[in-house]
Structure 1
């Protein structure tokens, strides 16, 4: 089912995204704009690969939708885009319209069972204390035959500590204290509060064991297609995969 997206997964795409990712805090419009476009292409391609259909008329739930950068991209594709975000400050951080947004926790989604065609989350699981409770919730609200996509940053990868990296490999608390000492302010992503140690093996174990979904694919989100083999190597993937995507079909 990854065949369509795999054609996009080139070295040129990887380099372009890495270039934009440097601007997460200094120029969030650039960072989130690039991520929104890439997220749309990811979901469009995976859904087409699974169903042979487009996003037109489909309800897409974005768990951890943040300040709304993804909304325009998905709505232009004809999808009914619904973001869920627990922090009202985050929802309005960019000054973008939040029409249709829902305030709520990913670990207790305020939606009924089997209510959306596609449920996805981009770079959120590492920011919640119970990521697999969130994953269970994402499957719960997805319709039978629908698609769930969870994409998250791995702790031992180069971006696991976010702005405190690469020092996070010596310990999350150490990295946070070092950042505060060097920058004169607390990091946005505080280890143990809004940033947690989540690995590739954790996500793969959950995806293979859940009774509610069928694991269709698992691959590194930002790597070129020729590097996807890294996911198959238990120790290597924790450091080199960087961001893992798991794709499930709701049973």
Structure 2
């Protein structure tokens, strides 16, 4: 599917609607889409790919299918086992302190993790550290003011996190998985862009909406509005020599 395109965006949206009932279908499609995005910048075959926070391993498996030497680092044992046996060689590890030497990865990949860490700057610094000079860093996250910023209790997060969580509990009869300030954090487009652009050790190759069907790069350049319509910010960074 052409990226960006309305057809691609609709296909991903339909898949997300069935995330709970068909997680393999949903995340399998997202993994193929993400691998396509990476391969626009670097051929995966033979490359060392570090997948940080990749859950049960859909992205790692797709990278390996394309010939990469891909390794999964996930901090939550429940996520690792959520879809059965995790990929061989998966490591239980915190993204703040990866058990890796400096500059070992050709590609460092992180999909929808940044909004779940309390210190995004330290997390990003660790991704940069383990990436070799000239290597690629792929980071995607759901920004707080996007329509999906509150995750399962969105879009009611616009009315306040606690109110949104209470509404979710009343409607479903169970507590929400995410708690603001514990495993979900308000990360914003503008400050994140300013931070990565100010770093001397990376070059921003692309800053765009991950799912937007048209003008995907343009929407991230409009202060204020970008915090809502970007939906999910995708950063492609290249480690400086």
TM-score, normalised on structure 1?
A: 0.91
The CA distance in 2 between the partners of 1:227 and 1:108, in whole Å, is 32
Decide which of 20, 25, 35 is 2:15's aligned counterpart. 20
Determine whether 1:35 maps to 2:30.
yes
Q: Which residue of structure 2 aligns with residue 176 of structure 1?
A: 165
Cα deviations by residue, 1:104-153 (Å, 9 ceiling, x for unpaired)? 11111121111110001001101111112111100000001111111100
Decide which of 82, 88, 93 is 2:82's aligned counterpart. 93
The CA distance in 2 between the partners of 1:245 and 1:16, in whole Å, is 18
Q: Which residue of structure 2 aligns with residue 191 of structure 1?
A: 180
More helix by share: 1
Determine whether 1:74 maps to 2:74.
no
The CA distance in 2 between the partners of 1:241 and 1:46, in whole Å, is 22
User: How far did 1:227 drift?
Assistant: 4.2
Q: Secondary structure at the match of 2:135?
A: strand
RMSD across aligned C-alpha pairs, in angstroms? 1.4
Q: 1:101 to 1:176 in 2, by over 3 A?
A: same
Aligned pairs, how many? 240
Q: Secondary structure at the match of 1:226?
A: coil
Q: Which residue of structure 1 aligns with residue 204 of structure 2?
A: 215
- Structure 1: which 5+ residue stretches go unaligned? 48-53
Cα deviations by residue, 1:171-221 (Å, 9 ceiling, x for unpaired)? 122211221222111112222211111111122012111122111210101
- Structure 2: which 5+ residue stretches go unaligned? none
Q: Is the 8 A contact 1:158 1:242 kept in 2?
A: yes
Q: Which residue of structure 1 aligns with residue 97 of structure 2?
A: 108
Q: Is the 8 A contact 1:121 1:149 kept in 2?
A: yes
Cα deviations by residue, 1:36-94 (Å, 9 ceiling, x for unpaired)? 111111111132xxxxxx11110111110101112321111110111110011110110
Q: Is the 8 A contact 1:68 1:96 kept in 2?
A: no
TM-score, normalised on structure 2?
A: 0.95
The CA distance in 2 between the partners of 1:145 and 1:250, in whole Å, is 5
Q: Which residue of structure 2 aligns with residue 149 of structure 1?
A: 138
Q: Secondary structure at the match of 2:58?
A: coil
Q: Is the 8 A contact 1:156 1:169 kept in 2?
A: yes
Q: Secondary structure at the match of 1:197?
A: coil
The CA distance in 2 between the partners of 1:96 and 1:68, in whole Å, is 9
Q: 1:212 to 1:134 in 2, by over 3 A?
A: same
Q: Is the 8 A contact 1:176 1:191 kept in 2?
A: no
